[in-house]
Amino acid sequence: MTILTIDKKCWEEGLDRARSAYTLVGPAPEAEALGFRELCATEYPVMDGSQTRLSPKSVVFPPSQVMMSCPLKEGDAKQNIYESVEIGTSPRAVVGIRPNDAKAIALLQLNFDTDEYKDPYVMAAFEACTFIGLAVSTPSATDFSISCGTGPFDESALDILLIDDNDRYLTTVITDKGAAWAAAAGFCTEAEDGAEGLIQAKKEAAESAITTTIAFNRIKEKTVLDLYNADHWEKTTFACLNCGACTYACPTCWCFDIQDEVHDGTSYRIRHWDSCMSSLFTLHGSGHNPRETSTQRIRQRFMHKLKYFQDKYDHGIMCVGCGRCIEQCPAGIDIRNICDTMNREGIRG
């Protein structure tokens, strides 16, 4: 592993140099908030450490994505025959992503890249990305990432980790992909001896600033029915409005719907983000709805994140402790409290 030093005065020049080979993606203003999106030639990623309102999962799993299309015109030899659209594979530099958001994208892969099914759209987007993370120096009050097995300096899902050090970035180059981007940007100055110790000190300071934790060590031991039939659900979730904000903001939520839309004589098959908080999400064609009530739906959200995911993948919980759902919930529902309750209660007999 190499540690470089990047003078901030040379930062934008390096990004511009790398643009010849990589599309630049990063945190940037979007409507009235900070978003994560492709940047135009005159834009640079916001590197002040703020968390984006929506997560960067859109980099590999866009809110709306055309998967297939077919012409509808009479006489067209391909009329009504759906074909996959071309899948973009050109390299993208995802700069300024938080380490736990990158970890969340790695968790998404567990669903979209399995032995039974490999999603070509998500996989191609993932392969095209080089993840250049920015360590979180000042975690927010709702950050509980360490409990979730990640953290402000987690390198596990990154190709490069940048650490803000006043007028420079200390830069840990983790993978070959990361080294290729650094070379394309012209960043090649090795850091001084002792840089590793400085990074370690910054890491410990950031981690010790995280004061909020969750416990889920007992959830795996409990049966699905113990947790599902527990008495607390009505009480712990009664305030939920089923608005879906938590699911759209969450970097690990992956529910989607597929719809056909017709525009100008062409039919498009489009995948859109959906939310398990919506009653329409599970409404059957017969009219039956297995999750008709609000409590059933929010119980599903927490059972999926905290129990079903653990049981199925043996990869911890489906949460990276970013705190977005806590900050954006209009009803004050806090996954930390629900998780602690599930961990503590619900055993029958």
Binding residues vs ligand SF4 (CB under 6 A): 240-246, 249-252, 277, 298, 305, 319-325, 329-331, 333, 335
Smallest distance, Å, CB 316 to ligand SF4? 11
- Closer CB to ligand SF4, residue 267 or residue 295? 295
Quickly count: other Cβ atoms within 10 Å of residue 150's Cβ: 25
Smallest distance, Å, CB 277 to ligand SF4? 4
Count how many Cα atoms sit within 13 Å of the Cα of residue 24 in the half-sphere of its side chain. 23
- Closer CB to ligand SF4, residue 62 or residue 149? 149
Smallest distance, Å, CB 349 to ligand SF4? 30
The full DSSP string for 122-138 is: HHHHHHHEEEEEE--SS
Q: Running DSSP on this structure, what letter comes out for residue 58?
A: G
Tell me how far apart the alpha carbons of residues 90 and 335 are, in angstroms, rounded to a whole number.
Answer: 37
- Closer CB to ligand SF4, residue 203 or residue 305? 305
Smallest distance, Å, CB 345 to ligand SF4? 19
Smallest distance, Å, CB 103 to ligand SF4? 9
- Closer CB to ligand SF4, residue 16 or residue 340? 340
Would you call 98 helix, strand, or coil by DSSP?
coil
Task: Tell me which residue of 233, 230, 209 sits closest to 218, measured CA to CA.
Answer: 230
- Closer CB to ligand SF4, residue 177 or residue 304? 304
Helix (H) or strand (E) holding 66: strand 64-71
For 148, 213, 338, the CA distances from 299, given in Å and listed in that order, are 20, 21, 10
Q: Running DSSP on this structure, what letter comes out for residue 138?
A: S
